[in-house]
C-alpha cells in the first residue's frame, strides 16, 4: 500500500523550515492583475492601494525550467518536504489583513512550514502541509496567510470526485467564466507552472480530469472581491476558504453569497447543478 511509503515522521522534520523572498509590487503587475480578472474601476497607480489577494502573485519561488517535475511543479525536498505522493493541490487558506499593499512598495514574504499531517482518505492516502506566510510591506506586517497544500496518490481523479452536499440556496448570485486564456494568464501572474491549469492533454490524459482545472487561488480571489462587493465595497478583514471539489473551464460557474450572520458571511463557488467547488467565510469587525 502507498501508506507504507509515507514516512510521516521524516516528513515532519520539515516543520520549522523557513524561506524568505522579496518582490516589488509594480504598476505593471497591478495593471495585469486587474485586467486578467476584469476588476471594475481604474488600475491603481504608484502610491495607491493594490487590489487585495494580489499578494498571491508576489514573492513566488523560481526554478530553472529544466528542474521542474513532469507535472510542472518545482522539485520537492527544499523548502517543502519531499512528500512521495505525486499529486499536489492547494487545499485551503486563511487570510488576515492589517492594511493594504501599496503599488510601488517592496513586499517581503516570510514563510514557515508549521505542520505536516497524514490521513487515510476514502480516495487513498493524503498528506497535508501547512505553511504560514507573513506578508510585509516596507517592513510593516500587512497580511497573515496560512496555506494548506494537499498531496494525494497517483490515481485518476475523474471528473467530480466526491460530491459535496449543497448548502442552503444563496441569496446573491453572480456568474463568472473561466476560459482557458484566463487560467493561463492567472498561472502566468502567479508563476504557477502546474500543467493542469493550461495543458489540456496533460490534465485529461495524465491526471484524469475532464478539462482544465480552475485554480484555487483564482476562485478565492473571485470570492473575496465578491464578498467586498456585497458589503458595499468594504473588504473583509479575515477571509478563509477551502476546496470542496474540482471545477473546470467548461463549467457554468457561479459565485454565491449566503445569509449575513452578524459580521460573518458564507460564500461559495458552484456549478450550475449546485455542487460546491470552494467554500469560504468572510469576517468584518
DSSP string, 84-105: ---EEEEEEEEEEESS--BTT-
Q: What is the mean pLDDT of residues 116-135?
A: 91
Give residue 183's pLDDT. 98
Give residue 159's pLDDT. 41
Cell of 281: 467565510
DSSP 36: H
Cell of 205: 490524459
Give residue 235's pLDDT. 97
Q: d(Cα 30, Cα 231) in Å, to the nearest integer?
A: 23
Residue 80 has pLDDT above 70, yes or no: yes
Per cent of the chain over pLDDT 70 is 93
Q: Which of 172, 176, 182 is nearest to 256 (CA)?
A: 172
Q: What is the mean pLDDT of residues 205-215?
A: 95
Q: What is the mean pLDDT of residues 3-10?
A: 77
Give residue 86's pLDDT. 86
How deeply is 183 buried, as exposed, middle or buried, from its count of CB atoms within 10 A (0-12, 13-18, 19+)? buried
CA dihedral 154→16→237→54, nearest 10 degrees, is -60
Cell of 73: 511543479
* Strand stretches in the chain, DSSP E: 18-24, 87-97, 106-121, 124-137, 140-152, 172-176, 238-243, 253-257, 264-270, 276-283
Average pLDDT along the chain: 91
Residue 156 has pLDDT above 70, yes or no: no
Give residue 284's pLDDT. 97
Per-range mean pLDDT, top range of 58-72, 75-89, 235-249: 235-249
Q: Does the CA dihedral 42-266-140-217 come out positive or negative?
A: negative
pLDDT tens-digit series, residues 222-244? 999 999 999 999 999 999 999 99
Q: Which of 218, 213, 220, 145 is nearest to 186 (CA)?
A: 218
Per cent of the chain over pLDDT 90 is 77
Give Dmax over CA atoms of the chain in angstroms: 55
* pLDDT confidence bin for 74, thresholds 50/70/90: confident
Please name each of the domains of the chain with its CATH number.
1-155 (3.10.129.10), 158-285 (3.10.129.10)
Lowest mean pLDDT among 26-40, 63-77, 210-224: 63-77
Residue 121 has pLDDT above 80, yes or no: no
Amino acid at each position: 500500500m502507498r501508506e507504507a511509503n509515507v514516512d510521516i515522521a521524516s516528513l515532519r522534520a520539515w516543520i520549522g523550515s523557513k524561506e524568505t523572498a522579496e518582490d516589488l509590487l509594480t504598476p505593471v503587475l497591478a495593471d495585469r492583475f486587474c485586467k486578467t480578472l476584469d476588476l471594475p474601476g481604474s488600475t491603481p497607480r504608484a502610491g495607491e492601494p493594490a487590489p487585495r489577494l494580489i499578494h498571491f502573485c508576489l514573492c513566488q519561488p523560481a526554478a530553472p525550467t529544466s528542474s521542474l517535475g513532469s507535472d510542472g511543479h518545482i522539485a520537492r525536498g527544499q523548502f517543502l518536504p519531499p512528500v512521495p505522493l505525486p499529486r499536489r493541490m492547494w487545499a485551503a487558506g486563511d487570510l488576515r489583513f492589517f492594511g493594504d499593499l501599496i503599488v510601488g512598495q517592496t513586499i517581503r514574504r516570510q514563510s514557515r512550514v508549521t505542520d505536516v499531517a497524514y490521513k487515510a482518505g476514502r480516495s487513498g492516502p493524503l498528506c497535508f502541509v501547512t505553511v504560514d506566510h507573513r506578508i510585509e510591506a516596507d517592513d510593516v506586517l500587512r497580511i497573515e496567510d496560512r496555506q494548506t497544500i494537499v498531496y494525494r496518490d497517483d490515481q485518476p481523479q475523474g471528473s467530480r470526485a466526491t460530491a459535496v452536499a449543497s448548502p442552503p440556496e444563496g441569496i446573491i448570485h453572480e456568474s463568472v467564466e473561466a476560459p482557458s486564456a484566463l487560467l493561463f494568464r492567472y498561472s502566468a501572474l502567479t508563476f504557477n507552472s502546474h500543467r493542469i491549469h493550461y495543458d489540456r492533454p496533460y490534465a485529461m490524459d495524465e491526471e484524469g480530469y475532464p478539462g482544465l482545472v480552475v485554480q484555487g487561488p483564482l476562485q478565492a480571489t473571485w470570492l473575496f472581491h465578491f464578498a467586498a462587493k456585497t458589503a458595499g465595497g468594504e473588504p473583509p478583514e479575515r477571509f478563509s476558504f477551502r476546496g470542496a471539489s474540482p471545477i473546470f473551464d467548461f463549467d457554468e460557474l457561479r459565485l454565491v453569497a449566503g445569509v449575513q450572520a452578524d459580521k460573518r458571511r458564507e460564500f461559495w463557488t458552484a456549478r450550475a447543478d449546485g455542487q460546491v467547488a470552494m467554500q469560504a467565510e468572510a469576517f468584518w469587525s
